[in-house]
Amino acid sequence: MREFHRVVGVTATTLLLLLGENQFLNSDTFAAAEEICNLGDLIGNDPSYTCVDGTFNCPATVVCPVVCMPEGEACPTGSECPLFTNLCLDGSCAEDCSIANALYNTEDFESPCPDCRPVICPKVVLDYESCKSAFGVYYKNTTDCAQKEEEESVALFTLREGGFVAIYFWACFVPFTMIIWCYFNQRIAPVSGSTKPLMMESDSSQTSWTQTGYQGFASVTSNIGLFLYFLTMITLFGYQILLGLLTIFYYIQQDAIAWFSPIFEDEVQVLKVHEITWGVAFFYTIVLKWPISIRSVFYRRCTLGGATHVAVMTPKVNERMGEEASSKVKSIKAAIKAVKRAVIRIMSFIYCDTHASDEEFDVIYCPVQIDENGIRHFFFRLRRYNFDEKSQLFIPGSILLGETCNDYLRLKSGLESVEVPKRRSVVGSNTIQMNRPIFLVTMISEFSKFFYTYQVFMIWTWFPLWYYYMACVQSIIVVTGGLVISIFRYRNERNLYRITRVTGNVSILRDGVVNTVSHTELVPGDIVAVEPGMAYADMLILSGNDIIVDEAALTGESTPIAKVAVDSAEGNTIYSYMSHKRHTISAGTRIVEAQGIMAVVLSTGSHTSKGEMLRDILTYQRHHFKFDTEVKVVVGILALYAIFGFTLTVSLYKDDFVFEWFYGMFVVGTSLPPLLPTVFTVSVGVSDDRLARKRIACVNNEDILVAGKVRRVFFDKTGTLTKQGLDFIGASYDGTVDTTKLSGNLLLGMATCHNLKLSSKGLLVGNHVDHNMFIATGTALSQSADGTINVLLNDGTTVKVLKRFEFDHHRMTQSVIIQRSDGTVCVFVKGSGESVERLCLPKTIPEKFHINLENAAKQGIYQISLAMKELIYDAKSVVTLSRDNVENGLTFVGFINFKNQLREDTADVLGQLEAGDVISSMVTGDNTLTGINIAREAGLIKQDQEIIFGKSVDNAGIISWVNEDGEVTPMPSVGKIKNRNIALAVTGKVWATLNEQSQDNALSLAPYIRVFGRCTPLDKVSVIESFVNNGTTCCMVGDGGNDCGALKTAHIGIALSDAEASIVAPFTSLDKSITSVVEVLKEGRCALASALASYKYMIIYGQVESINQIANAYFSVTFHEWCWVFMDGIWMMSMAFSLSLAHAETRLSPKRPTSSLLGAHTMFSSLGVLVINFIFTCIALGLLTSQDWYHCRKWDSTDISNITLIGDNYEASVLFIITGYQYISSAMAYNFGYTHRASWWKNYVFVTLASVYTIVHFLATLWPSKLSCLWRLNCTNENIVPAVTDTRIPINNVFNTTVMPMGFRIDLIVLMVFNTVAIMSWECFIVNGVGKKVAARFTKKQADYCKYLLDHHDTVV
């Protein structure tokens, strides 16, 4: 057979290398041969004799390939047996041929000659030219004879046989029927009313969500869909099976699999069928990757009433840019959108699907379930939707127990048992319906992505042509990359699942009896006897006041909070969580103490506060960066490059196109590296692990990349920049700081106007400020069995607390009604100075009230005003009083002063952020002047900076700007702000006004605003939202509580909380340390820089590999098996993954790392390294061709049908030595830490691997040994080692060696060293040295121009 003759006739084929162009040599004669090869060894003519010319002279002496002759003809002159010997059948010469002839007739003997010319002539030692001139015509006749013999003996398929026709019919029938089904289902017979609006919430009247009913494989029509679905899936997997069978058929034809008879007898034909099958299967599979799921294509549209699946179509979440989008990015996005629109039109035609025609929507198919009460429902984004028979719609399942507090107070008697199933049918069980993550499911989901489909088909191109070991290597690479991503995804899913899963029992009141049930059985309206432990639902406290709750897991608030029952006096007020926070227990919080507490369940499952946060997390989409858009362009560029490489490779090879196609596909497969998608995931995972070791928890580790681009950090003041709580420094009527004047009503108010209570251990529980204030009074707190709070004053009298009104963020006040020992009743109110002033009688306000407020704020004193009034009500009637009844007509009592103490590390953290080009600002609810004082103390505002303060806004919207002395001053232009070194401070109201009047003006002032004061929680959200919407990557740092909204609004939220399961922010500092901000940003920058370094390495790897393939095509050679295993497997994988292990730099760099794949920095770096590598490859090949010894040792075969026969040559050796080391040296260049990663030598794993690989590579290059023979370098038959897939294969060239002269080997070592130095110098000194300076100079010119424009901008007042 043809391949058999190719293998056994390799020596004859190899001699034809010498018959090509430029191969004619000036030879000497037999005398020269005798000097090099021992001609005497050929006496007896051992057929296995080989000759190795170790002189590196030209002409090179070789053992001439065997001459084959027809029977009856004598061997040619020069290829004859010596005198007195006879020619034996095996080609040896002996006096007696009986033994040799007997061996010839055994099955173990493989003749090097075809059947048409069976006589084997003796071997001859000659130089190239003599072999060619003496025996060339005989070699040509032998090759022609063997070819003709093969063509006559091989039976070819016509490809019109019945089996082939059946496959053709199947391949056409299945796609055709699928298209007909889609057209029928979506166009011809769409069911009227199958698509209707879907409400996001039960009270939503307008929504852009839709729900479409589909029937699964149940009805007759759906059974047709089921049948077509199975046909489609059988075809999909059938193509893969067929490709596998064709691969097996190939190796059967090659006699590699001997236990089956060949199906295809011709090598070319089986490969041609393989290629056609590959093309059809690839197109078919790609088309099937378009739908949401293949199964859904065959569902029959129907009304929602009969649907087994509901397709929920929702608007796509707008891409939130993590950085400001440049015009280039916008242009790229527009181009991608145009291409995507064209693809959508094509797919819309194929599937006739209305969903596919709108790129602005996501479609998710939700299975319809039926509960025990027969209620049809489905879950979408954790929320249950029930089918409503009246409207024939699925609507969100929710229960509203009431509107006012009185509505809830009336529910004290609990539910009847018959009511419970009805309510459970509406909202479902009290669980968050999140499927338990299964690694196998996560892995299948990952490997179902388009990239892996592409890689699978690339792997199929590696299997034939004896490249199956490389197919195995590529499979390992692809599987490893997919598993790495799957592991990180599974870990994230598992961590989130753990937050959703809780177990436990609760005591509830039903049918007038308290029973213990599983928490999953709770429904809205249940009355729960609250006990210490986990809170399983959102609840409103109806009775009892002895409860302490730790809300750290939900809000980040580190201090346990005392909760009280809802006040009957507020019965007519509308219930809301924010207004009645003190009466509400949220699901997911931990109840520290509770005694005699009864609460009504407000909401369960995903409707709870915890459920809503988890819904936010599950629907969260990481903010988009430039690389999210540019990666699509990169893939497009690589695809075009792959097409170019394929075309060039095919044109360079000079063999049958069937073989050329495979080698061209090898270039395509390496142009888009298989590990490219893993580089960002691995870098993020490594940084996530390091943050975890620093006790910084991360809910979604993709946010680590976002942290690398943070431009602005907002800090809460109290508990964040300053220590938790405030230190009491004094109180007085006139505002002086005096601790000696605590007496009378001032002392009484401080002792009673708070929300403190005693724990079961006798410890004070409550707000830090209240705690320190109370301790300063020297009074004592006691608590009776019924929960009544009493205060024992210093004079021995006791004051009873009748009623408390918690602090209200809108009112900015807190109040308490007490009864003195003499029975009189009064109310004390404390709060911000401005709020208390509005509630007081003007005549009671001190003359210098505002001056006191301003002076205290300037000194950084947190000042609370206290007021009171006598009440004419008795102790019983005050219970019914509302807040509005008591908080008016007050008499001013005095000022209570506290001081914030900075954290020890605040100044250092702010200094590091400033050095890292990160703007820091304070956003606080405190007085703006207090914030300014703390900002100066912390270094947020420099001591020499002038401050202009946006103090207030009048009714006409005019902003009052004042300096530190309170003098009104016009607001200067942005240019003057910078020139005069001015820092701005504004109140939350002023910022909102600036935004309303001119957002552009507000954003131009934003970089100079250092303090945002008097901000409510909503103001904090508004401030950060303005920057986020403008494309500024923001970070918010707070200690939870009223920072929750801002923490979630920012790109990066860091909560200082000790709750490991906190979901209030993407990051949680368990040590509650402000240094966590710097650590997150450092790891973010490190992860982004490492990801870009790994990305550039993978691109270089792919291009160096493709250049390798093209160069191999030029010389019609390839590398041996172990070469590919090391290059594509061991070196590439270990270098790519270990690059991501670089540690973060100890300090923040003045510049953020780039996130652009097509930016000047990335392109300059990648193209520069690629060009340098290419130049050195060309130098190495040029150096080879300049060697005198090489000119008589060139490789000129054009037969590429078997890769095991075309690797033993000097062209392949030089290419492997130089380009193989470029796999290592390129990674070394990208391992430099620069400014975001630690020094290169601190990546210990990488340095160790690179060092070992370098030593091994240099040793193999310099010294012939079994090590060098592993890669067939500097190798002779004495040192050969087993190949990956076979036993020891002899050197397959006429020289029987690949050893190179020592001088040339040293030249190659020098080239590798200079290549490495060149690319490392390029990266270190040019790209990150001169290049950065040029970029900085260009940026400075732009900045100077902008500054000029700003300086001449009109002043804004």
Give the strands of the sheet with 369-370, arranged side by side: 369-370, 376-380, 383-388, 393-396
- Can you list the positions of beta strands (E) in 112-244? 119-120, 124-127, 195-197, 210-215
Give the strands of the sheet with 513-518, arranged side by side: 513-518, 505-510, 527-530, 597-603, 538-543, 584-585
Cα–Cα distance measured from residue 588 to residue 586, given in angstroms and rounded to the nearest whole number: 6
Report whether 356 contacts 311 (CB < 8 A): no
Residue 42 has pLDDT above 70, yes or no: no
CA–CA distances in Å: residue 487 to residues 438, 481, 666, 1130, 1135:
11, 10, 29, 21, 20
Helix (H) or strand (E) holding 757: strand 757-758
* Backbone φ/ψ region at 108: left (φ over 0), alpha (ψ -120 to 50), beta: alpha
Compute the residue count for the chain: 1357
Confidence of residue 320 (pLDDT cuts 50, 70, 90): low
* Averaged pLDDT for residues 266-285: 93
Which residues are paired to 388 by β-bridges?
393
> Which range has the top average pLDDT, 287-291, 393-397, 566-570?
393-397
* Averaged pLDDT for residues 272-281: 95
Q: Which two tokens stand for residue 333?
A: 């996005």
Cα–Cα distance measured from residue 945 to residue 950, given in angstroms and rounded to the nearest whole number: 16
Q: pLDDT exceeding 90 applies to what percent of the chain?
A: 34
Nearest to 889, CA basis, from 849, 922, 947, 842: 842
pLDDT of residue 6: 36
* Averaged pLDDT for residues 477-491: 88
pLDDT tens column, 531-541: 988 999 999 99
* Averaged pLDDT for residues 634-661: 89
Which residues are paired to 584 by β-bridges?
540
Confidence of residue 485 (pLDDT cuts 50, 70, 90): confident
> Which range has the top average pLDDT, 314-328, 352-366, 508-522, 719-733?
508-522
Cα–Cα distance measured from residue 1216 to residue 1211, given in angstroms and rounded to the nearest whole number: 9
Check residues 1218 and 139 and name the one with the higher pLDDT: 1218
Q: Is 1264 exposed, middle or buried (0-12, 13-18, 19+ CB in 10 A)?
A: buried
Report whether 375 contacts 383 (CB < 8 A): no
Confidence of residue 205 (pLDDT cuts 50, 70, 90): very low
Residue 358 has pLDDT above 60, yes or no: no
Cα–Cα distance measured from residue 840 to residue 496, given in angstroms and rounded to the nearest whole number: 50
pLDDT of residue 738: 64
Residue 153 has pLDDT above 90, yes or no: no
Cα–Cα distance measured from residue 580 to residue 586, given in angstroms and rounded to the nearest whole number: 12
Residue 611 has pLDDT above 80, yes or no: yes
Check residues 961 and 190 and name the one with the higher pLDDT: 961
pLDDT tens column, 1322-1345: 998 888 876 565 555 544 444 454
Torsions phi, psi for 379 (to 5 deg)? -110, 135
pLDDT tens column, 1238-1288: 988 999 999 999 999 999 999 999 999 999 999 999 998 888 888 776 677
Cα–Cα distance measured from residue 852 to residue 1246, given in angstroms and rounded to the nearest whole number: 63
Cα–Cα distance measured from residue 347 to residue 356, given in angstroms and rounded to the nearest whole number: 7
In the chain, DSSP finds a helix count (H) and a strand count (E) of: 42, 45
Check residues 465 and 814 and name the one with the higher pLDDT: 814
Least reliable range by pLDDT among 20-34, 180-194, 209-223, 1181-1195: 20-34
Q: Is the pTM of this model over 0.85?
A: no
Buried b (16+ CB within 10 A) or exposed e, 317-346: eeeebbbebeeebeebbeeeeeeeeeebee
Report whether 895 contacts 735 (CB < 8 A): yes
**Which residue shows structure tokens 């703006």?**
928
354 three-state secondary structure: coil
Q: pLDDT exceeding 70 applies to what percent of the chain?
A: 89
Torsion sign, CA atoms 339, 342, 348, 351:
negative
pLDDT tens column, 1171-1214: 999 999 999 999 999 999 998 888 877 677 777 778 899 999 99
**Which residue shows structure tokens 């076979």?**
1286
Residue 825 has pLDDT above 90, yes or no: yes
Helices 906-915 and 1075-1115: crossing angle in degrees, nearest 10, is 30
- Position 825: which residue type? V
Residue 329 has pLDDT above 70, yes or no: no
* Averaged pLDDT for residues 578-585: 84
Residue 125 has pLDDT above 90, yes or no: no
* Averaged pLDDT for residues 464-482: 87
pLDDT of residue 1006: 86
pLDDT tens column, 94-114: 888 888 888 887 777 778 888
* Averaged pLDDT for residues 908-928: 91
